[in-house]
Amino acid sequence: MKTRRDCREWRELLGAFALGRLQDDERAGLEAHLDGCAECRAELAALQPVARMLPYADPERFESAPQPPAELGQRIAATIEGEKRRQHNRRQRRRFGGIALGGAAAALATAVLLLFVLGGEEASPERQVKFVSQSGEVTIDATLEPHAYGTEIRMYVHGVESGTLCRVALRGPKGVTYPAGTFRYRWGDDSDAVLSSALDLSRTRAVVVHAGRQTFVAPVNPPVAAINPGSVSTGTPSSPAASSLRTKVLY
């Protein structure tokens, strides 16, 4: 039986000691050694915090670490790439805006044009408004797009007499109307009429279309389930239903 251990042998017991697993006699011997050995005391001090951390761990998780899916790196790169592009676009717009503010009237006109062009790059918060007369005869689709100058209106009409003059206006918060221009509906023409009004889209409450003798009014904001009663269709007894409209606001 060994009565005297050397320092290395005592030190190799420090793990079991730190975890409270030494028998009484061995523990007493080690404690006596620790009293006289600064090196072993320092070693114990280094092991104790590790011993205190052990209870937090779950041994079921020691064998294999979860690995991130292979495509996660590419997804992150794509996200960053997308955000960089958006930042770049914003910077470009600010740059053009700066020229406009610093410049003369001519430069201002250019800036308005550029805002118009660049504004289209972003996913614009445009609104789509669809009018359907109750009889189902007349359909008007309008897409409203906000711009610095006001609102752009792209309009497609179906079901009115060919050659009908259509006057379009936007209605603001207090019922004030802002003219957006006129167009003439032609059969067989599938192109949109592009109009513009000085009223901001955020302040636009309704789109008003006078098509010949009929007037269609569709609310724009907020989305409304019920119909805004169309202004009376003047003297067209053949289609009284057209004055009452179903409106759908599509986003």
Partner 1 sequence: MPGRMIQLRNSTRGALSRERDVREAYAAHAGELYGFAVRSLGDAGLAEEAVQETFVRAWRAGDRFDPKIGSLRTWLFAILRNVVIDLGRARAVRPRVAEGGVEPSVEPLEDALLAWQVEEAMRRIGTEHRRVLVETYYRGRPYAEVAEELGVPEGTVKSRVYYGLRALRVVLEEMGYED
Residue 42 touches partner 1, criterion: CB under 8 A: no
Residue 79 near partner 1 by CB under 8 A: yes
- For the stretch 31-64, what's the b/e string if a residue is b when 16 or more beta carbons lie within 10 angstroms of its beta carbon? eebbeebeebeebbeeeeeeeeeeeeeeeeeeee
The helix (H) or strand (E) run that includes residue 246 is strand 245-250
Question: In this chain, which of 1, 38, 42, 65 binds partner 1, going by CB under 8 A?
Answer: 65
Q: Which position among 7, 28, 31, 52 is part of the footprint of partner 1 (CB under 8 A)?
A: 52
- Shortest Cβ distance from residue 9 to partner 1 (Å)? 8
Are the CB atoms for 94 and 116 separated by under 8 Å?
no
Neighbouring CB atoms inside 10 A of 200's CB total 16
Assess 76 for contact with partner 1 (CB under 8 A).
yes
**Which residues have C-beta within 8 Å of that of residue 116, sequence separation ≥ 6?**
147, 148, 149
Output the smallest distance, CB 35 to partner 1, in A.
Answer: 19
Residue 122 CB, nearest approach to partner 1 (Å): 19
Q: Does 251 bind partner 1 (CB under 8 A)?
A: no
**What is d(CA 195, CA 143) in angstroms, rounded to the nearest whole number?**
10
Binding residue for partner 1 (CB under 8 A) from 7, 28, 32, 72? 72
Residues that bind partner 1 in the complex, under the rule CB under 8 A: 11-16, 18-19, 21, 46-47, 49-54, 56-59, 61-69, 72-73, 75-77, 79-81, 83-84
